[in-house]
Structure 1
Amino acid sequence: MERDPAARGARGRRLLPETPAIHEIRLAVRAWLGRHGARSVAVALSGGADSAALTAAAVAEADSVRAVVVDHGLQAGSDVVAARAAEFARAHGCGSVHVVSVEVTGSGGLEAAARAVRYRALGDTRDGLPVLLGHTLDDQAETVLLGLARGSGPRSIRGMADFDDPWGRPLLGVRRSVTRAACGELGYEPYEDAHNSDPRFTRVRLRTEVLPLLDDVLGGGVAPALARTAAQLREDGEVLDAAADQALAAARGDGAGLDVASLEPVHPAVRRRALRRWLADEGASAPTDRTLRAVDDLIGRWRGQGPVAVGRGPRPGIRLVVSRRRGRLDVVFVDQQRCADD
């Protein structure tokens, strides 16, 4: 699996080859650690190229690394794959290695269910450390395209953050081809998950069909362009989010609900961000753009309209609604049948 088991530094860590791909990944990890003041980290290790290259670089750059290997049990021999990944982590000097076996259950399809279970396992095992994930520039480009398809505005196409506590992504500026090259430089053959080439998954088709076609039609460079767009939108979004937080704090005041007069002069783009955050705090789950604009109309286009449904209640027939009364917006649970009778 590896070329030189004896090549170790003073702290017992494997000395990495001074080769181009490994150097690029080490610089990316070093920069991330510096930006976020992290010296000890956990790494989500699957045994694939991205996470393996990240793990090796993290051991070289951080003071200590805890490797967490999640065995989803979705394929025969998954325990063997997990054991091999754990051995890679030990061989490269991870301070501790944890293999967590999980059962993939839940709604939203296999991919979403596996992701949810994986993140819970990582969260339970990280011991307070930030968790580094092997998402690359190519993953970021795919995420932006998926966001475009949802059509829910800049928030959905600004991609993944390089740090969304506790999840760190040092490799968002590194191509997937570089992580594969780094594994070659390490003499390590990465695990190839069959799900990553299964066309039943939308992300796989984006990777294998859509992005290559866009590169062909547009003359190349599509993935880096999408990643740059995501970074620019994220910077813009942070400014708008800060303004929305200020507007929301002012509108809340000391009472329940939101003061309409405080929100009326606020630009709609900022106001809708404030409303989205308020609705999330009140228990509304991911309001659509149409719903959000209907709530905003209770402020910016007030004509005496009725309540706006924003979520389900604790039992059938009950809905969470936003209504405007006496110059304030309030969120309440209502009985649909009673509303119909009234």
Structure 2
Amino acid sequence: MQELGTPAARYRGAVEHRPGLDPAVADVRRAVRVGLAPRAGRGTVVVALSGGADSLALAAATAFEAPKLGLRPVAVVVDHGLQDGSADAAAAAVAAAEGLGLDARAVQVEVGTAGGPEAAARDARYRALRVAAREASAVAVLTGHTLDDQAETVLLGLARGSGATSLQGMPATSDLNGVALLRPLLDVRRETTRAACTALGLRPWADPHNTDPAYARVRVRDRVLPVLEAELGPGIAEALARTATQLREDADAFAEMIDETIEDIVEHAEAGISVSIPALAANPAAVRHRIIRHVVASEFGQSLTRTQTLEVARLVTEWTGQGPIDLPGCRARRIGTRLEFTAR
């Protein structure tokens, strides 16, 4: 296990600033300032702090920028308890935040098994952050996801083959059960956060899980992206992040179009909802499929696979008298000129 030392000793010099402003520090501060600006003067913001370089650079920038915007920053360290010494690492991260002038505390969580270790840890972490934000009456939670994290997310989505939704990556702003979740560093490289920590005299904690090849994300980071860079040239991570942004813009436009279309073609049915067959057939396949997925998700809280979506679409465009289709949480069937979805 890595020697942590005492929290105070490990982060000695955390509040020291070198003469002049280091470019990396300036980049991180600028990103945080832009991300926080829409919420200026509205109360408290919570920084999710692991002690790693990304979240530590984020905490330092938030400590500097938030008060100037009339915001009170606090740091929350989530201790997942998944490895020996996690409590010491959490205490060190709290000390680092306090050295930066932040109020900080550690929260210990229990991690389940649903969805695998990465998903279970993420779910537990976000639950803890949501509770902490509500206790602090915070208007937002900030996480330290970088451009590199975005690129890794896009590649993992591509490998899963789950369509444009997964290729959109992480949004800069999303909802965490009523609290805004902000990712202000999505345009900042991981090497920049490390450089910012060095410039500020901060010593990040190296999480062993971040180098464990048992995790798919680690293999993408340490093996796949370097190979792509070597074989295709530099700038792969930036290109993947740009792709995510463009797909998210397209998705937002599609969502607006579909919301307008659904108002005219959807009717409530007994124990469910129905959609006009002629209207669905008149739309391009991409819109038709999105409407089908949207109806099932909004009415029954379920997600359809590509195969399931195409099977339902055939009731519209290739109907030869086939019967109902069982779907997650519902059943689809064609009745005259209506495509009806009812609860199972």
TM range (shorter): 0.7 to 0.9
Identity of aligned residues (%): 45
Question: Which of 53, 72, 77 matches 2:80?
Answer: 72
- Which residue pairs with 1:126 in the alignment? 133
* Shift in CA distance, 106/329, structure 1 to aligned 2, threshold 3 Å: farther
Question: Which of 251, 255, 260 matches 1:246?
Answer: 260
- Which residue pairs with 1:3 in the alignment? 13
Deviation of the 1:164 alpha carbon: 0.9
Deviation of the 1:295 alpha carbon: 1.4
Correspondence 1:19-168 to 2 at 5 A: 19-35=22-38, 40-62=44-66, 63-94=71-102, 96-127=103-134, 128-165=138-175, 166-168=180-182
Deviation of the 1:57 alpha carbon: 0.6
- Which residue pairs with 1:258 in the alignment? 274
Question: Which of 330, 334, 339 matches 2:340?
Answer: 330
Deviation of the 1:78 alpha carbon: 0.6
Deviation of the 1:236 alpha carbon: 1.1
Between the aligned partners of 2:261 and 2:225, the Cα distance in structure 1 is 39
Between the aligned partners of 2:311 and 2:166, the Cα distance in structure 1 is 19
8 A Cα contact 2:157 2:167, kept in partner: yes
* Shift in CA distance, 324/37, structure 1 to aligned 2, threshold 3 Å: farther
Deviations 1:174-213 (A, max 9, x none): 0000011111111111011111000011110000000000
Partner letter of residue 163 of structure 1?
A: T
8 A Cα contact 2:78 2:106, kept in partner: yes
Q: Does 1:279 align with 2:282?
A: no
8 A Cα contact 1:211 1:222, kept in partner: yes
Question: Which of 234, 244, 258 matches 1:230?
Answer: 244
8 A Cα contact 2:14 2:96, kept in partner: no
- Which residue pairs with 1:11 in the alignment? none
- Which residue pairs with 1:204 in the alignment? 218
Deviation of the 1:73 alpha carbon: 0.3
- Which residue pairs with 1:315 in the alignment? none
SS of match in other structure, 1:257: strand
Partner letter of residue 50 of structure 2?
A: S
Between the aligned partners of 2:100 and 2:261, the Cα distance in structure 1 is 49
8 A Cα contact 1:197 1:204, kept in partner: yes
8 A Cα contact 2:29 2:62, kept in partner: yes
Question: Which of 319, 326, 329 matches 1:302?
Answer: 319
SS of match in other structure, 1:99: strand
Deviation of the 1:333 alpha carbon: 4.5
Partner letter of residue 293 of structure 1?
A: L
8 A Cα contact 1:2 1:186, kept in partner: no
Structure 1: 5+ residue stretches without partners: 8-13, 313-319, 335-342
8 A Cα contact 1:71 1:82, kept in partner: yes
Q: Does 1:270 align with 2:293?
A: no
SS of match in other structure, 1:103: coil
Between the aligned partners of 2:292 and 2:306, the Cα distance in structure 1 is 11
Q: Does 1:321 align with 2:331?
A: yes
8 A Cα contact 2:300 2:343, kept in partner: no
Between the aligned partners of 2:323 and 2:268, the Cα distance in structure 1 is 25
Between the aligned partners of 1:282 and 1:309, the Cα distance in structure 2 is 15
Q: Does 1:194 align with 2:208?
A: yes
Between the aligned partners of 1:97 and 1:41, the Cα distance in structure 2 is 12
Deviation of the 1:302 alpha carbon: 2.7
Comparing 17-26 with 208-217, greater Cα deviation is found at 17-26
Deviation of the 1:88 alpha carbon: 1.4
Higher relative contact order (CA 8 A, sep 6+): 2
Q: Does 1:174 align with 2:188?
A: yes
* Shift in CA distance, 224/131, structure 1 to aligned 2, threshold 3 Å: same
Between the aligned partners of 1:158 and 1:82, the Cα distance in structure 2 is 32
SS of match in other structure, 2:308: helix
Between the aligned partners of 2:320 and 2:282, the Cα distance in structure 1 is 17
Between the aligned partners of 1:226 and 1:323, the Cα distance in structure 2 is 39
- Which residue pairs with 1:292 in the alignment? 309
8 A Cα contact 1:241 1:270, kept in partner: no
